Amino acid sequence: MSAAPLYDRVALIGLGLIASSMAWAIRGAGLAREVVGTARSAETRATAQEIGLCDRVTETAAEAVVGADLVVLAAPVGAMGALAEEIAPHLAPGATVTDVGSVKRAVVDAVAPHIPAGVHFIPAHPLAGTEHSGPRAGFATLFENRWCLLVPQPETDPAATARLRALWAGMGAHVDEMDADHHDLVLAVTSHAPHLIAYTMVGVADDLRRVTDSEVIKYSAAGFRDFTRIAASDPTMWRDVFLTNKDATLEILGRFTEELFALQRAIRTGDGEMLHAYFTRTRAIRRGIIEAGQDTDAPDFGRVKTGS
Amino acid sequence: MSAAPLYDRVALIGLGLIASSMAWAIRGAGLAREVVGTARSAETRATAQEIGLCDRVTETAAEAVVGADLVVLAAPVGAMGALAEEIAPHLAPGATVTDVGSVKRAVVDAVAPHIPAGVHFIPAHPLAGTEHSGPRAGFATLFENRWCLLVPQPETDPAATARLRALWAGMGAHVDEMDADHHDLVLAVTSHAPHLIAYTMVGVADDLRRVTDSEVIKYSAAGFRDFTRIAASDPTMWRDVFLTNKDATLEILGRFTEELFALQRAIRTGDGEMLHAYFTRTRAIRRGIIEAGQDTDAPDFGRVKTGS
Please judge whether A296 and B275 are an interchain contact, meaning their C-beta atoms are less than 8 angstroms apart.
Answer: no
A269, A195: one domain? yes
Question: CB neighbours of A76 closer than 8 A, spacing ≥ 6?
Answer: A101, A236, A237, A239, A240
Among B150, B178, B206, residue at a domain's last position: B178
Q: How many Å is the maximal CA-CA distance in chain B?
A: 67
C-beta of residue A61 within 8 angstroms of C-beta of residue A32: no
Tell me the residue range of the domain where A87 lies.
7-178
Best residue in B283, B287, B291 to probe A by mutation, most A CBs within 10 Å?
B283
* Paired sense of beta strands A124-126 and A147-150, if any: antiparallel
B146, B196: one domain? no
On the question of pLDDT at A298 being above 80, the answer is no
Nearest chain B alpha carbon to A203: B282
Question: Using CB atoms, which residue from B187, B221, B240 is nearest to A127?
Answer: B221
Nearest chain A alpha carbon to B284: A232
pLDDT in tens, B63-109: 999 999 999 999 999 999 999 999 999 999 999 999 999 999 999 99
pLDDT value of residue A130: 85
On the question of pLDDT at B49 being above 70, the answer is yes
pLDDT in tens, B104-126: 999 999 999 999 999 999 999 99
Least confident of A149-153, A203-207, B11-15: A203-207
A38, A174: one domain? yes
Residue B295 C-alpha, separation from nearest chain A C-alpha, in angstroms: 7
Confidence category of residue A159, pLDDT binned at 50, 70, 90: very high
**Contact residues on chain A for B130, CB-CB shorter than 8 A:** 299-300
Number of domains in chain A: 2
A173, A222: one domain? no
Best residue in A282, A290, A303, A308 to probe B by mutation, most B CBs within 10 Å?
A282
pLDDT value of residue A302: 55
Among A178, A210, A234, residue at a domain's last position: A178
| Assigned domain for B173 exists | yes
Nearest chain B alpha carbon to A286: B228
| Assigned domain for A245 exists | yes
Confidence category of residue A101, pLDDT binned at 50, 70, 90: very high
B12, B75: one domain? yes
Least confident of A291-300, B150-159, B174-183, B205-214: A291-300
Q: Number of CB pairs < 8 Å for A and B?
A: 375
Question: Using CB atoms, which residue from A191, A201, A246 is nearest to B197?
Answer: A201
Question: Using CB atoms, which residue from B217, B293, B301 is nearest to A292?
Answer: B217
Please judge whether A302 and B306 are an interchain contact, meaning their C-beta atoms are less than 8 angstroms apart.
Answer: no
What ipTM was assigned to the predicted interfaces of this complex? 0.89
**Contact residues on chain A for B238, CB-CB shorter than 8 A:** 275, 279
pLDDT in tens, A53-85: 999 999 999 999 999 999 999 999 999 999 999
A172, A26: one domain? yes
pLDDT in tens, A4-62: 899 999 999 999 999 999 999 999 999 999 999 999 999 999 999 999 999 999 999 99
For chain A, give the mean pLDDT.
Answer: 93
A42, A143: one domain? yes
For chain B, give the mean pLDDT.
Answer: 93
Nearest chain A alpha carbon to B201: A256
pLDDT value of residue A126: 96
Q: What is the CATH number of the domain that holds A91?
A: 3.40.50.720
pLDDT value of residue A305: 46
What is the pLDDT averaged over residues A112-126? Answer: 97
Please judge whether B294 and A187 are an interchain contact, meaning their C-beta atoms are less than 8 angstroms apart.
Answer: no
On the question of pLDDT at A114 being above 70, the answer is yes
pLDDT in tens, B20-29: 999 999 999 9
Please judge whether B281 and A206 are an interchain contact, meaning their C-beta atoms are less than 8 angstroms apart.
Answer: yes
Please judge whether A279 and B199 are an interchain contact, meaning their C-beta atoms are less than 8 angstroms apart.
Answer: yes
A168, A206: one domain? no
Confidence category of residue A1, pLDDT binned at 50, 70, 90: very low
Residue A281 C-alpha, separation from nearest chain B C-alpha, in angstroms: 8
Question: Using CB atoms, which residue from B144, B186, B217 is nearest to A294?
Answer: B217
**Contact residues on chain A for B102, CB-CB shorter than 8 A:** 222
Please judge whether A194 and B283 are an interchain contact, meaning their C-beta atoms are less than 8 angstroms apart.
Answer: no
Best residue in B20, B146, B183, B215 to probe A by mutation, most A CBs within 10 Å?
B215
| Assigned domain for B61 exists | yes
On the question of pLDDT at B308 being above 50, the answer is no
pLDDT value of residue B303: 58
**Contact residues on chain A for B299, CB-CB shorter than 8 A:** 130, 132, 139, 142
| Assigned domain for A188 exists | yes
**Contact residues on chain A for B252, CB-CB shorter than 8 A:** 204
Q: What is the CATH number of the domain that holds B191?
A: 1.10.3660.10
Top pLDDT among A308 and B185 is at B185
B252, B146: one domain? no
**Contact residues on chain B for A250, CB-CB shorter than 8 A:** 264, 267-268
The DSSP annotation for chain B comes to --SPPSEEEEEEES-SHHHHHHHHHHHHTT-EEEEEEE-SSHHHHHHHHHHT-SSEE-SSHHHHHTT-SEEEE-S-GGGHHHHHHHHGGGPPTT-EEEE--S-SHHHHHHHGGGPPTT-EEE-EEE----S--STTS--TTTTTT-EEEE---TT--HHHHHHHHHHHHHTT-EEEE--HHHHHHHHIIIIIHHHHHHHHHHHHHHH-SSS-HHHHHHTGGGTTHHHHHHTTS-HHHHHHHHHHSHHHHHHHHHHHHHHHHHHHHHHHHT-HHHHHHHHHHHHHHHHHHHHTTSS--SGGGGPPP---
| CA atoms of B293 and B280, how far apart (whole Å) | 22
A154, A253: one domain? no
| Assigned domain for A302 exists | no
Report the candidate in B70, B65, B116 with the shortest Cα–Cα distance to residue B97. Answer: B70
On the question of pLDDT at B232 being above 90, the answer is no
| Assigned domain for B302 exists | no
Provide, rounded to the nearest whole percent, the portion of chain B with pLDDT above 90.
Answer: 78
B158, B240: one domain? no
Among A178, A199, A219, residue at a domain's last position: A178
pLDDT in tens, A180-229: 999 999 999 999 999 999 999 999 998 887 888 889 988 988 888 888 88
| Assigned domain for A241 exists | yes
| Assigned domain for B2 exists | no
Residue B116 C-alpha, separation from nearest chain A C-alpha, in angstroms: 31
A151, A234: one domain? no
| CA atoms of A300 and B128, how far apart (whole Å) | 9
On the question of pLDDT at A281 being above 50, the answer is yes
Best residue in A206, A289, A297, A304 to probe B by mutation, most B CBs within 10 Å?
A289
Confidence category of residue B299, pLDDT binned at 50, 70, 90: low
